[in-house]
Structure 1
Amino acid sequence: MSHYLAKTEVKPPERVLIFDTTLRDGEQMPGVTFTIDEKIAIARQLDELGVDVIEAGFPITSEGEVEAVKRIAAEGLEARVCALARPTRLDIDKALGCDVDYIHIFIATSDMHLKHKLKMTREEVKRQAVEGFEYAKDHGVTVEFSPEDATRTEMGFLKEVCRAVSEAGADKINVPDTVGVMTPRVTYEFFKELKSVTDVPLSAHAHNDFGQATANSLAAVEAGAEQVHVCVNGLGERAGNASLEEVVIGLIAQYGVKTSINTRQIAETSDLVQRLSGIYLPPMTPIVGDNAFSHEAGIHVHGILGHPGTYEPLTPELVGRRRRFVAGKHTGRHAIDAMLEEMGLHPDAEQLKVIAAEVKRLGDTGKKVTDADLYAIARNVMNIKREDRVKLKQLLVVTGNSITPTASVTLLIDGEEFIGSGVGNGPIDSAINAIRQVVDSFADIRLERFSMKAITGGTDAVADVTVRLRRGDRYVTSNGVSGDTVMASVEAILRGMNRLLDDPPDVPV
């Protein structure tokens, strides 16, 4: 971290609680819907990660939501399981019926919401908040209160409401920046002022409409907030909520604040939520993006090889990632040599020069050089002859408007013929599942990422598919190019599989 010491004295709490709302506010992101089983899988992983509170859902919204919250509450997790409710008996009874011991009650307090949404006066809102609170507390549960749109609420009234719920027995008061209008400096002062009127622990709930959710959450902690609401991968309404991974690592690395999070589980948690939500992060996403610990530029790689701290503020292992060197036109020989070393290839100086030149040539044409590409280039230059272990003999895919997409595949594995079949939500998915059925019988290879782009326009566009596969702790990227999207996908998968199945070869003298 920076050696500069700011003159402003900041005294954050020694420990901050992490309240995860991926399953509630995160699921409110347009296009994101989790099944009950998916919610349970995410809740288990969040518990493994070590979050303090899991907001499992908003029971009043549907019977499916009730079942999901109830089943998560019955999982026996270490984390507290919380349900959201408005301050009405109907909402609170629905939440209590899910067997949770923690209820998060909210009601809007800004004049904007009172006038245009609730059609209520300030006095009516305050009375309903207190009555709902007292009703929930009478049932012996932990109750957290959120004055929705707090940051656009007149401060005098906000203090009045916070005092009222404090006197009613609030266990925590959460301060939502509902439409993300705050800046870090204003957030700090805002929380400082609220701290002066209540001894109840404060929590921050930041939205990312202006791209400042993480910074505002950290500013709230600087001002004394004891808890932060977050979502894995920054999921949430509109531009999302504060990102769990950014807030947690910021607290630990930049402030020295303790949390209950097992940071080595962060990447696995992020990957699970990406798969189940269908929302994949841009590669340059901090902490968990594919490029967060990836390096291509020769000067950078040279520095990293000397000491990782030259171009990495964190070690990838801290969050469960691995460092990657990427081949491309900016890559120097040091980087390519290191990448080949990891692949078990040891070119001499002249061979390395030729390999590096070919990588740069491909990069100059605009081609992304995958791990499989580099491996193939090196084997060719080094005259290493090895047959692919898995070859495609035949593929048949059937799809249509009245049938489930189905594929059958015949693969040659070490010369022996194997037949597999699969169904999926489309021809590509069914083809990949058919291949998986065969390969799973002897190797545990998992598809981690899949992306496709059209190289040309029109209905005859050429598809360029890039995949990332994993076998144990080994990862590989590979691609396939074809006018047939299914064949481009299959080519990419098989190239990656062959790379992962290939033992490090003996280099001929």
Structure 2
Amino acid sequence: MVIINDTTLRDGEQTPGVAFTRREKVVLAEMLFQAGITHLEVGIPAMGDEECLTIAAIRKALPEATLMAWCRANKSEIKRTAELQLDWVDISIPSSKQMIEHKLKSSVDKLLANMLDCIRYAVSLGLQVCIGCEDASRAELDFLADIGALGSLAGAQRLRYADTLGLLEPFMVYKQIKQLSSEQPLPIEIHCHDDLGLATANTLAAIKAGASYANTTAIGLGERAGNAPLEEVAIALYQCYQQDTGINLTALPALCQAVSLAAGRPVAQQKSLVGEQVFTHESGIHVDGLVKDVRNYQGVDPQLLGRSHRLVLGKHSGIGAVQAVFARIGISLDKIQTDKLLIAVQAFAIDRKRNPSDIELLRLSDQVLGSF
């Protein structure tokens, strides 16, 4: 079973302009845990005392959760992680030639020596270690395998493959993770960014290739275009691979809404799975098919998320939809009444650029047909 190691509270909060309060982070952590996401990356100790106090508050609120902090290969940061009584530390190191030379301004030998020293130090403090390979998608695969093999000998227990710039596509991800799994001993955690809109697909490809852990963020928060959305990965694993992640899928809409409010990032109406309109139908052909049998136009059962289909009227509605929607609000229509209201509904939608509400439909019926 793949384990979701959610990073809403760390990488998600790195979204430009997003700044959770301590109370918000604790509440969101509790909601994540209650939804069955028990592995959480909760912050960056190097950010200072306020961040550490927030991490400590999450630890106190969730003593049974598996909590991770993100650190550089820096002993003082690792020490603070241990002092906060977290379970895991992600020791992040640049792994591509570009970043080693032009960001870290170091050599491979120095990077590896420092990495191993930090791993041993973290293990001595009782921490479990994930090696975070930043920019892994631009690194040499042989070098990533060396990092995993050497890190394992030093005591590391997981290797994070980060597509930091969101450059990859699923076929390459599958090939890379499959090969990396066979060439070094550590379980792999996949960390995808959504710059090309492929973070979910890349995460699934990595899992298919053998990744044991997956990083996600609720509603896809994160740097630039964000990370793989928690709700998409969880539902796709269930829907496509029949994998039980232990997540209560019906809890995801409320969780995503809470994250949206705390982040000040509205969820797009057509956001997959949790957007307001993703189980809403207007087209006459689709509505007719749904009324006959929901399986005609149901790819994902909305009940998985505690939701249901909703029929609305608009420019593309047909007579069957008009009769079904008006019947739902307590008005039975004959053929002539239906035809008249269909014309009125289509004119409303074109004029207002939206679907009429139930109250507006009642007003239309009064205007077109007179009071019932």
TM-score relative to the length of structure 1: 0.70
Question: After the TM superposition, which residues 91-240 of structure 1 pair with which residues of structure 2 at under 5 Å, given as runs?
Answer: 91-240=77-226
Distance, in Å, in 2 between the alignment partners of 1:211 and 1:369 is 29
User: CA contact under 8 A between 1:44 and 1:77: conserved in structure 2?
Assistant: no
- CA displacement at 1:78 relative to structure 2: 4.5
What's the counterpart of residue 243 of structure 1?
Answer: 229
What's the counterpart of residue 354 of structure 1?
Answer: 340
Distance, in Å, in 2 between the alignment partners of 1:344 and 1:316 is 24
- CA displacement at 1:356 relative to structure 2: 2.1
1:199-227 deviations in Å (ceiling 9; x for gaps): 32111001111111111111101111111
- CA displacement at 1:337 relative to structure 2: 2.5
User: CA contact under 8 A between 2:95 and 2:135: conserved in structure 1?
Assistant: yes
- CA displacement at 1:366 relative to structure 2: 4.7
- CA displacement at 1:357 relative to structure 2: 2.0
The amino acid of 1:205's aligned partner reads H
- CA displacement at 1:228 relative to structure 2: 0.6
Residues 187, 367 of structure 1: alpha-carbon distance in 2 compared, 3 angstrom cutoff:
closer
What's the counterpart of residue 303 of structure 1?
Answer: 289
Identify, as 1 or 2, the structure richer in helix: 2
What's the counterpart of residue 400 of structure 1?
Answer: none
Question: After the TM superposition, which residues 317-466 of structure 1 pair with which residues of structure 2 at under 5 Å, given as runs?
Answer: 317-371=303-357, 372-381=359-368, 383-384=370-371
Residues 379, 82 of structure 1: alpha-carbon distance in 2 compared, 3 angstrom cutoff:
farther
- CA displacement at 1:111 relative to structure 2: 1.1
1:468-490 deviations in Å (ceiling 9; x for gaps): xxxxxxxxxxxxxxxxxxxxxxx
Residues 129, 35 of structure 1: alpha-carbon distance in 2 compared, 3 angstrom cutoff:
same
- Asked if 1:65 corresponds to 2:43, the answer is no
* SS of match in other structure, 1:32: coil
Residues 263, 196 of structure 1: alpha-carbon distance in 2 compared, 3 angstrom cutoff:
same
Residues 112, 377 of structure 1: alpha-carbon distance in 2 compared, 3 angstrom cutoff:
same
Structure 2 portions without partners, runs of 5+: none
User: CA contact under 8 A between 1:208 and 1:241: conserved in structure 2?
Assistant: yes
User: CA contact under 8 A between 2:40 and 2:67: conserved in structure 1?
Assistant: yes
* SS of match in other structure, 1:147: strand
User: CA contact under 8 A between 1:146 and 1:173: conserved in structure 2?
Assistant: yes
The amino acid of 1:249's aligned partner reads I
* SS of match in other structure, 2:106: coil
Distance, in Å, in 1 between the alignment partners of 2:213 and 2:331 is 50
User: CA contact under 8 A between 2:146 and 2:184: conserved in structure 1?
Assistant: no
What's the counterpart of residue 393 of structure 1?
Answer: none
Distance, in Å, in 2 between the alignment partners of 1:383 and 1:67 is 64
* SS of match in other structure, 1:118: coil
Distance, in Å, in 1 between the alignment partners of 2:193 and 2:184 is 24
Distance, in Å, in 1 between the alignment partners of 2:308 and 2:232 is 18
What's the counterpart of residue 442 of structure 1?
Answer: none
The amino acid of 2:151's aligned partner reads V
- CA displacement at 1:72 relative to structure 2: 0.6
Distance, in Å, in 2 between the alignment partners of 1:76 and 1:366 is 48
- CA displacement at 1:256 relative to structure 2: 1.5
Residues 318, 379 of structure 1: alpha-carbon distance in 2 compared, 3 angstrom cutoff:
farther
Structure 1 vs Structure 2 CA RMSD:
1.7
- Asked if 1:86 corresponds to 2:72, the answer is yes
- CA displacement at 1:88 relative to structure 2: 1.4
TM-score relative to the length of structure 2: 0.95
The amino acid of 2:277's aligned partner reads N
Residues 370, 41 of structure 1: alpha-carbon distance in 2 compared, 3 angstrom cutoff:
farther
Structure with higher RCO (Cα < 8 A, 6+ apart)? 2
- CA displacement at 1:42 relative to structure 2: 1.0
User: CA contact under 8 A between 1:109 and 1:125: conserved in structure 2?
Assistant: no
The amino acid of 1:262's aligned partner reads N
* SS of match in other structure, 1:264: helix
What's the counterpart of residue 272 of structure 1?
Answer: 258
Distance, in Å, in 2 between the alignment partners of 1:324 and 1:219 is 32
What's the counterpart of residue 44 of structure 1?
Answer: 30
Paired residues in the alignment total 371
User: CA contact under 8 A between 2:30 and 2:62: conserved in structure 1?
Assistant: no
1:375-404 deviations in Å (ceiling 9; x for gaps): 3323555645xxxxxxxxxxxxxxxxxxxx
User: CA contact under 8 A between 1:347 and 1:382: conserved in structure 2?
Assistant: no
Which of 261, 273, 291 is the equivalent residue of 1:287? 273
The amino acid of 1:208's aligned partner reads D
- CA displacement at 1:25 relative to structure 2: 0.4
1:206-253 deviations in Å (ceiling 9; x for gaps): 111111111111110111111110111111101111111111111111
Larger Rg: 1
User: CA contact under 8 A between 1:34 and 1:276: conserved in structure 2?
Assistant: yes
What's the counterpart of residue 435 of structure 1?
Answer: none
Distance, in Å, in 1 between the alignment partners of 2:314 and 2:63 is 45
Distance, in Å, in 1 between the alignment partners of 2:63 and 2:320 is 47
